[in-house]
Amino acid sequence: MGLEPISGTPDPNGGDCVACGRCCHHGPRTVHLLEPDEERMGKRRLELYTELDTRPPYFRFIKNEGERCGGLDVSQPGLYPCAIYEHRPEDCRIVDVGSPACLEARRLGHLGTSVEFTRLP
Ligand code: SF4
Ligand code: SF4
């Protein structure tokens, strides 16, 4: 899953995110939406880019076919822009450039878990 890892410090202004895209490579059910996210996305984008669990409590996630977010535009080789950037969920907004999750994604080539990334219980 993912891309080759990238070394070096990420651009603090986020200028290299489109050339990186590592944090947008992850497994299904990673980017979930709460009500404010759904409102920001709007009906058309919700239909195109998200799916709703078929069982209660009916969580909604960005579509993902296995190795990257369905919101990622991979139409241009080597570039990884988000097709819904202005409308992306809060889950994405909290991954700041240079944050632990960003650095982990760049180190692994994808956003996942490793022995150096410990979730609090
Ligand atoms: S891993 Fe960091 S530098 Fe790469 S796209 Fe995500 S936030 Fe940007
Ligand atoms: S919605 Fe956009 S920013 Fe969020 S993981 Fe998907 S491609 Fe990346």
Closest ligand to the CA of 110: 1
Residue 33 pLDDT: 98
Average pLDDT over residues 97-114: 90
User: Mean pLDDT score of the chain, rounded to an integer?
Assistant: 92
Going by alpha carbons, the residue nearest to atom 7 of ligand 1 is 97
Residue 63: pLDDT over 70 = yes
pLDDT tens digits, 4-42: 999 888 987 877 999 999 999 999 999 999 999 999 999
Taking the CA of residue 14 as reference, the ligand 1 atom at the shortest distance is 8
Q: Which residues of 41-69 are buried (b: 16+ CB within 10 A; e: fewer)?
A: beeebbeebbbeeeeeeeebbbebeeebb
Ligand 1 atom 6: residue of nearest CA? 23
